[in-house]
Amino acid sequence: MSEKILVVDDEKDLVDLISYNLEKEGFVVFRAYDGEEALQTVKTSNIDLMILDLMLPGIQGMEICKLIRKDPSHMTLPIIMLTAKGEEIDKILGLEMGADDYITKPFSVRELSARVRALLRRSDLQKEIDKKETFTFRGLHIDFASHVVTVNNEKVELSPTEFKLLRFLSQRPGRVYTRNQLLDHVWGDDAFVEPRTVDVHIKRLRSQIEKDLLKPQYILTVRGAGYKFADIG
């Protein structure tokens, strides 16, 4: 079955260009030119991925992303955010609102297509991981039920927070999370923790599972954005 892609931008020529190239690759493409139309399409068309412009008439791209992430039926919808802004803060804000990836205008259509395919593969992989009780990657083995972690068959002792952090990231490989997002998902709202505390726990976690702290292979730093588990697709 062909995946359904929603392209949202108020520049019709750009929407047509993106749509034409995605359709050539076999995707079914839906078009929207403002926020209201985009939200309605998401609700009614069983979309597999959305390409979303940051600057839109009416409801802005950031707000659309935020609204979708609050809806349980669409909270895992893969979103690539398009932005004419290349500043680091815009990328961080996009990730904070729940975008899975971002690409800055002007961009190569081939690069966008590659990002779409990679994100769809990651989405499929995530669905498979969610069904499993264990996770194995490059000698790292995690048993989610027993909370046992081994590296090359040697057991490592993690604190409860370190295990929660590893579990959360490993169940979402390739997905970048900012410090604030990790605080929300791992620490929750019941504790006041400084964002830099995340760095401390990442460092401790790496000291337990990584062979080379200068070249980690599991928990990676994405400069200017946050952290992610390595791509495994």
Q: Are residues 137 and 78 in the same domain?
A: no
Q: What is the pLDDT along the chain (233 residues), one digit of tens a residue?
A: 589 999 999 999 999 999 999 999 999 999 999 999 999 999 999 999 999 998 888 898 889 988 998 887 888 899 999 887 666 667 777 777 778 888 888 889 999 999 999 889 888 877 777 778 899 999 999 998 899 999 999 999 999 889 999 999 998 899 889 888 898 888 876 556 777 889 999 999 999 999 999 999 999 999 888 999 999 86
**171: which 2 tokens?**
């169940």
The whole-angstrom separation of Cα 161 and Cα 183 is 11
**Pair 64, 113 in one domain:** yes
Which long-range contacts link 140-143 to residues 24+ away (Cβ below 8 Å)? 140/170, 140/209, 140/218, 142/166, 142/167, 142/170
The whole-number pLDDT of residue 70 equals 82
Question: Are both 136 and 25 inside the same structural domain?
Answer: no
**Do residues 60 and 119 share a domain?**
yes
What CATH number corresponds to the domain at position 47?
3.40.50.2300
Given 128, 155, 182, the domain boundary residue is 128
- Cα(201)–Cα(205) distance, rounded to whole angstroms? 6
Tell me which of 112, 128, 144 is where a domain ends. Answer: 128
**Is 74 found in the same domain as 152?**
no
The helix-helix angle for 109-131 and 12-24 (nearest 10°) equals 60
Determine the pLDDT at residue 132: 80
**Residues of the domain holding 182:** 132-229
CATH of residue 172's domain is 1.10.10.10
Q: pTM score, two decimals?
A: 0.64
CA distance 193 to 200: 12
Measured distance between the N- and C-terminal CA atoms of the chain, rounded to whole angstroms: 20
**Number of domains making up the chain:** 2
Encode pLDDT of 56-77 as tens digits.
Answer: 888 988 899 889 988 878 888 9
